Structure 1
Amino acid sequence: MDVRRASQPTTTRPTNRRVVRKDVTRPPYDAPTLFDLDLPERPEGTYLTSVYQLERVAPTVEGLHDAVNHRYVRQHDFLVEDRRVAGAPALLVHGTVPRSRADWCDVLASVTGEAIDLGFSSGGAALLVAVDDHVYALAYGTVGRHMVDLDLANSGFGIGFAVRSLAPDEIKQVRRRVFGTTGRVDRNMVPGGQHIRMYGIDKWGEIVGQVCGRTFNRNLTVCRSTGKATPVEGSDTLRIHLGVEPSSLLADLREVDRVCKQEAPFADSEFITQIRPVPARDPRLSTVEEELDRLLRLPDPVEVGLAVPGRVFGEIERIQSYKLRVPKSGLAPARLPELTLADVLTQTEGVPDGERWASLCNGRVTVYADAAGDEEIGSTAVSRWVTAQLAHGESQLLLHEGGWYEIGDQHRTFLRDEIEQILTGPASFALPAWTADLTDEEAYNIRAAEVRGLTLLDRKLLRTDQHHRGIEACDLLGPDNELIHVKRAKGSSALSHLFAQGEVSVDALRYEADARTALVEMVKRQRSGRVIDLNFQPRKVIYAIALGSGKPLTVDSLFTFAQVALYRAMKSLRNEGVEVEVIGIPST
Structure 2
Amino acid sequence: MPDKKPYRRLNVLLAKDEFSGKEYRDLLSPDAKVSELELEDEHDFDGILYVRNPEEKRPRWAQLVDTLVGRTVDQLSNKSSSAVFLIRVKGKVLAFTFGYGRFLLNLGCFQQDFGLKTALNTLDHQSLRSVDLHTLEDQPIQKKSQSARGSEASVFGIDIFRDVLRAVTGSPRPGVDYKSISGGDAIYSFGLEMLVEDMPKVASQLMTYYQLSLYKDSFGWVDNIRRIKDSDTIAALDKNLLDAIKSKDPGLIITIPEVIEWDKVLGFSFTRSKNDLTPTIDTEQYLKNVDAGSVSIESIRRDRLFVTDVHDNAFGHSVYSCLYLELDSGDTKKVLFGGNWYEIDKSFMSGVDSTLASVALSDLDFPGVHVWEEDGNTKIETEGDYNERTAATQGFYLLDKRLVKCTKTTSPIELCDLLTQDKQLVHVKHRKGGSAGLSHLFAQGSVSAEVMLGDKGFRKQARTVLRRVDPRARDLVPLDSLKSSEYEIIFLILGAEGQGLKEGLPFFSKVNLTRVYENLSQRGFSVKIAGAEKVARDLA
Confirm whether residue 408 of structure 1 aligns to residue 345 of structure 2: yes
Distance 1:233 1:469, change over 3 A: closer
Structure 1 residue 125 displacement after superposition: 1.6
Q: Distance in 2 between matches of 1:140 and 1:283?
A: 26
- 1:565 maps to which residue? 512
- 2:360 maps to which residue? 424
Which digits, 9 at most, give the CA deviation of each residue in 1:56-114, with x for residues without a partner?
87446x7433443454x55xxxx42243464324231235564534759979x99xx99
Q: How does 1:373-412 map to 2 (within 5 A)?
A: 390-392=326-328, 395-399=332-336, 405-412=342-349
User: Which of 174, 179, 182 is the matching residue for 1:233?
Assistant: 182
TM-score, normalised to structure 1, is 0.61
Confirm whether residue 550 of structure 1 aligns to residue 497 of structure 2: yes
Which digits, 9 at most, give the CA deviation of each residue in 1:562-588, with x for residues without a partner?
11122344567679x684622323648
User: Which of 46, 53, 62 is the matching residue for 2:14?
Assistant: 53
Confirm whether residue 357 of structure 1 aligns to residue 315 of structure 2: no
- Letter of the 1:430 counterpart: L
Q: Secondary structure at the match of 2:391?
A: helix
Where is the strand percentage greater, Structure 1 or Structure 2?
2
User: Which of 80, 83, 103 is the matching residue for 2:38?
Assistant: 83
Q: Distance in 1 between matches of 2:181 and 2:421?
A: 56
Distance 1:541 1:242, change over 3 A: farther
Q: Distance in 2 between matches of 1:54 and 1:145?
A: 13
Structure 1 residue 295 displacement after superposition: 5.4
- Letter of the 2:81 counterpart: G
- 1:267 maps to which residue? 217
Q: Any conservation in 1 of the 2:493–2:530 contact (CA below 8 Å)?
A: yes
- 1:18 maps to which residue? none
User: Which of 56, 62, 65 is the matching residue for 2:25?
Assistant: 65
- Letter of the 1:559 counterpart: P
Which digits, 9 at most, give the CA deviation of each residue in 1:443-473, with x for residues without a partner?
5433431343112244667799999999655
Q: Any conservation in 2 of the 1:52–1:154 contact (CA below 8 Å)?
A: yes
Q: Distance in 2 between matches of 1:550 and 1:243?
A: 65
- 1:44 maps to which residue? 5
Q: Distance in 2 between matches of 1:515 and 1:93?
A: 68
Q: Distance in 2 between matches of 1:286 and 1:383?
A: 19
Structure 1 residue 47 displacement after superposition: 1.4
- 1:123 maps to which residue? 80
Structure 1 residue 131 displacement after superposition: 1.6
- 1:3 maps to which residue? none
Q: Any conservation in 1 of the 2:28–2:104 contact (CA below 8 Å)?
A: yes
Structure 1 residue 127 displacement after superposition: 0.9
Unaligned stretches of 5+ residues in structure 2: 259-270, 273-285, 303-317, 373-379, 536-540
- 1:368 maps to which residue? none
Structure 1 residue 385 displacement after superposition: 7.8
Q: How does 1:105-144 map to 2 (within 5 A)?
A: 119-132=76-89, 133-141=91-99, 143-144=100-101
Question: Greater shift after overlay, 244-253 or 501-510?
Answer: 501-510
Distance 1:150 1:553, change over 3 A: same
Q: Secondary structure at the match of 1:169?
A: coil
Q: Distance in 2 between matches of 1:157 and 1:551?
A: 44
User: Which of 510, 519, 531 is the matching residue for 1:585?
Assistant: 531
- 1:334 maps to which residue? none
Which digits, 9 at most, give the CA deviation of each residue in 1:385-414, with x for residues without a partner?
898551428853235899854322442243
Structure 1 residue 49 displacement after superposition: 1.6
Unaligned stretches of 5+ residues in structure 1: 1-42, 224-228, 308-328, 331-345, 363-381
- Letter of the 1:90 counterpart: I
Q: Distance in 2 between matches of 1:304 and 1:434?
A: 22
Aligned length: 465
User: Which of 125, 142, 158 is the matching residue for 1:185?
Assistant: 142
- 2:441 maps to which residue? 498
- Letter of the 1:44 counterpart: K
- Letter of the 1:477 counterpart: L
Structure 1 residue 147 displacement after superposition: 3.0
Structure 1 residue 129 displacement after superposition: 0.7
Which digits, 9 at most, give the CA deviation of each residue in 1:171-204, with x for residues without a partner?
3322222235431233333343233344443223
Q: Any conservation in 2 of the 1:181–1:304 contact (CA below 8 Å)?
A: no
Which digits, 9 at most, give the CA deviation of each residue in 1:228-277, with x for residues without a partner?
x5332121111123576443112212221123235554422222223358
Q: How does 1:143-158 map to 2 (within 5 A)?
A: 143-158=100-115
Structure 1 residue 535 displacement after superposition: 9.5
- 2:124 maps to which residue? 167
Q: Distance in 1 between matches of 2:196 and 2:320?
A: 35
- Letter of the 1:52 counterpart: L
- 2:205 maps to which residue? 255
Q: Secondary structure at the match of 2:357?
A: helix
- Letter of the 1:231 counterpart: S
